[in-house]
Amino acid sequence: MVEHGSVRPDVVALAPALSLFVDVVTQADTDAALDDSYSRVTEALCTTTGMERALMVLYDDARRQVRAVGAHNVPLARLAGRQVGLEDAPVGRQALAEDRVVQAPGDLGGRVSPEFSDLVDGASLVVVPIVAAGRWLGIILADPGSDEPLDDARRDLLWLLGKTLALAITARAEQHQRARARQLEERIALARDLHDSVVQRLFGVSLALGSGQPFDAAMRERCTEEINAGLRELRTALQRPLGRPSRPTGTTLAEELARLQRSHPDLRMEVEGEVAEVPAEIEPLAQSVLAEALRNARKHADGARVVVRVRRGEQTLVLEIENDAAPESRTPTAGVGLRLAALEALGLGGVVEFGRQPSGTWLVRLVVQLEPGA
């Protein structure tokens, strides 16, 4: 049995950092809560390893982009809304590809983009990979405060913290995967229930109607009862969640539109009129529909012009995304993402429509009925 006093100091110092890393798994599934956790993790990393500053960059599955998520002694707000990629920090690609901690010299010599290089003020840069089972999840950029090479103990500790964080992130992803599997099982159960109840009732009525025999009052009453019972069962079944809900993004549709206009000037996206306020419970769905529509536009549209309209009436919210469609020889089709969004919209009392317009444009429209007082 090893006595506490014989344990290496760097191993003892790892305990508080590991405790905070576990918090990332248990935090509420919102960007605000997670960003706070990631900033606390970078603070713990600096405290544990003697780094002066640190910036964490991760792939955001909900937004499908790479972004800065946490920082310690670094103005994280300066990077808000910026598209971040490995081209911004080529030294990060080396750390990820080799799955090891890389220390770049004080003179980065173009190895980091200006957005990042001015944050390290000419000091050396330590890059910690966040890799799990060969999957690149992100990196941590840290400032050791000097150009002295890292010793092996410090380098190993940083690598271990990166691996622990990768484990936490992977565990959260597995939780979402299991939730999606449960939702798929629910959809299969719904289809089975509809077949065993509604479809069977309507099939019996169709056989009676197709028999060609005259109906007396009792038979007509029986058919009416069967149809009404089928409608009741159908209404009950449609109250179930039909599709997986969109993950919270921690931002609003108006903010996301502004960010997309800055980040994707090639789309020439125009927002027509004022952006109406979107109820909080509809925000994830609206942003998911917007993301899928823009993704389809980038893949299929000839013209790069996209027009977005967000209107709100007393009882409905309408989101429209219209773009120059492909020629008839290459008719665009809605992807799986829009079809899943259509299922999710049904659970919120709305519909998602998409198709070619008489003018030749391709339109995606989300219409959601609002609750009184929403």
> 302: domain CATH number?
3.30.565.10
Same domain, 196 and 167: no
Same domain, 168 and 290: no
Same domain, 193 and 141: no
Same domain, 164 and 202: no
DSSP H helical ranges for the chain: 9-26, 31-49, 90-98, 114-120, 152-194, 200-209, 217-238, 253-263, 283-300, 336-347
Same domain, 61 and 200: no
Nearest to 343 by CA among 210, 209, 226, 246: 246
In tens, the pLDDT along 270-305 reads 898 888 889 888 898 899 889 888 888 777 655 568
Same domain, 226 and 278: no
Cα separations in angstroms, 168 against 130, 161, 200, 299: 10, 11, 48, 34
Q: Point out the domain boundary residue: 148, 177, 206.
A: 177
Which residues does 302 contact at the CB level (< 8 Å), separation at least 6?
324, 325, 326, 327
| CATH code: domain of residue 126 | 3.30.450.40
Residue 245 in domain: no
Residue 277 in domain: yes
Same domain, 219 and 323: no
Same domain, 163 and 215: no
Average pLDDT value for residue range 134-151: 86
pTM for the model stands at 0.51
What is the sign of the dihedral through the CA atoms of 131, 134, 138 and 141?
positive
Rounded (10°) CA dihedral 37, 39, 44, 47: -160
Of the pLDDT bands very low, low, confident and very high (cuts 50, 70, 90), residue 24 is: low
Q: In the chain, how many domains are there?
A: 3
pLDDT at residue 258 in the model: 86
Alpha carbon distance 299, 293 (integer Å) = 10
Which residues does 122 contact at the CB level (< 8 Å), separation at least 6?
106, 107
Rounded (10°) CA dihedral 273, 276, 282, 288: 20
Which residues does 252 contact at the CB level (< 8 Å), separation at least 6?
278, 283
Average pLDDT value for residue range 148-171: 86
pLDDT at residue 20 in the model: 62
Core vs surface per residue 271-303: b (16+ CB within 10 A) or e: beeebeebeeebbbbbbbbbbbbbebbeebbee
Alpha carbon distance 330, 310 (integer Å) = 28
Of the pLDDT bands very low, low, confident and very high (cuts 50, 70, 90), residue 366 is: very high
Q: Can you read off the two tokens belonging to residue 7?
A: 């344990």
Average pLDDT value for residue range 349-358: 85
Residue 79 in domain: yes
Q: Point out the domain boundary residue: 149, 177, 205.
A: 177
CB 141 within 8 Å of CB 57:
yes
Residue 263 in domain: yes
pLDDT at residue 28 in the model: 42
Residue 248 in domain: no
What is the sign of the dihedral through the CA atoms of 260, 264, 267 and 268?
positive
Domain with 33, as residue range(s), is 4-177
Same domain, 65 and 209: no
Residue 246 in domain: no
Q: Rounded to 5 degrees, what are φ and ψ at 154?
A: -70, -40
In tens, the pLDDT along 109-142 reads 455 555 555 555 556 788 999 998 888 888 998 8
Does residue 5 have a pLDDT over 90? Answer: no
Average pLDDT value for residue range 349-368: 86
Q: In what order do the strands lie in the sheet with 53-60?
A: 65-72, 53-60, 135-143, 125-132, 102-104
Same domain, 17 and 134: yes
Q: Can you read off the two tokens belonging to residue 220?
A: 């007509």
Residue 214 in domain: yes
Same domain, 349 and 275: yes
Residue 247 in domain: no
Alpha carbon distance 315, 146 (integer Å) = 61
Does residue 66 have a pLDDT over 60? Answer: yes
Alpha carbon distance 244, 339 (integer Å) = 11
Same domain, 199 and 232: yes
Does residue 236 have a pLDDT over 90? Answer: no
Of the pLDDT bands very low, low, confident and very high (cuts 50, 70, 90), residue 106 is: low
CB 67 within 8 Å of CB 57:
yes
